Structure 1
């Protein structure tokens, strides 16, 4: 019995999965050189530049495209003026979203986050969700879970 416990403990330690992670310096070298861990194993040199590795024939990852100052690199589908309507057609709230996805509801700035392909934000007890894929119709909605009401959000 005394020998079984250490053997069991050793077997349990060997069965545990190993956790391997790259450190920040190595990740930075990979990014600057354009190499990946796979291409490095094939001979891509992380001490060389992205251009040198491309000349050597390695399929390097593309360089990150810097965003121009003052402008967003890609137009956000959420930018613009929106109106939340009730089922009777009355205006519940006016919404403004700028190119940096900052949101104002009835003139008051609120925090917004992306979630499941849409932009979600809350003002008071009402939660608003604007779908990012503009081809989908009828999915821009608001919900007031306290009052158990909901309605569409339409572009102005």
Structure 2
């Protein structure tokens, strides 16, 4: 009986402990550099540089974001309306408030604008469709 109780208590302690995929030093480097694990892995961002240095190496001004400009209505997977995203030449508004990207925005090989914010990642397509993902859920976007 004691062995079973000890085993159950040990299992409960292990399951209750938080799991961290990356260590604190790596997380700090990502935050300082403005990179995400994805952009660091694909070579579009260097975690050993600052966010300003990464943006200078991949200036947004050289990207043609014209096909993505405008107001994008966000929806969750069930079709419920969420706040709007406004894409401008050099800035973004989320629900009417200015917001900075957590990465250097870039256009993928498929011609999609890829943005990462603190709470979600967004992929916009020039045809007026898009999708978003966050730890809390996912959904889609439509240009208005």
> TM-score normalized by structure 1?
0.42
Q: Structure 1 or 2: larger helix share? A: 2
> TM-score normalized by structure 2?
0.45
**Larger Cα Rg: Structure 1 or Structure 2?**
1
